Structure 1
Amino acid sequence: MAKWGEPSWCQVGEEPDYRFTLANERTFLAWLRTALALLAGAVALSQFARPLALTGLGVGLTVLLALAGTVLAACAYRRWAKVQRAMRNAGPLPMTWLPFVVGLASTLVGVLVLLLALGLVH
């Protein structure tokens, strides 16, 4: 029987080696730190870079950062749970599109900031 607050899938399969469980947890926490950094960048841009924040590009950068951070935070637990289930059932680890999304969003923000810094975009 599952303990209160424990997902039912914790009762399926075998308990994985604690080192793998802790590694999975560290990865989860890294995703959350990255999500918080993206959200902090959105807040900083919207609040502290006022002249830029009022332009279309500033709004676009803020939205991109906030959206990427929100999606990442929302998907981090699900990813952790899928990996935990796979380890319990000795299955293959699931693939995820999260690194692609974070990488793409970071690349877009980096290119736009570079263009801004060089004065090629206003």
Structure 2
Amino acid sequence: MQRRDIAQSVADALFEAERAVDLALEKAALFISHTSTLRRDHNFSAMLGHEGVTAVARSIETLGQTRTHMMTAHAALAAAAPQIGVRPLTLHGTGTDKPDTEIPPTGEIAPPRIVASSSERAA
């Protein structure tokens, strides 16, 4: 197997993993949207299934972190490609152009906090 073929097989596997993370994010968000719409349309209490929806919301945060790790891995593998004599630009990718400049992080999102209910605040 040629070095370029090896690099392309690694790139293909990476692109597939990146697509899987994006698809998981999409499916989890659609799940929340679907269950929320059903709850409202059928006038079910917000308490019904709340823990499940909260767990899925937490998984979305984790998937977002996973996506960040995948981008870090992508950058590290692209940086390593020249060490085996391959230029990353010669590999076939997803067909999506990258931005000309690195996009700065938007900052850390504070973790959610529990808000006291009105009866707890009155006490």
TM-score (norm: length of structure 2):
0.48
Bigger relative contact order, structure 1 or 2 (CA pairs below 8 A, ≥6 apart): 2
Larger radius of gyration: 2
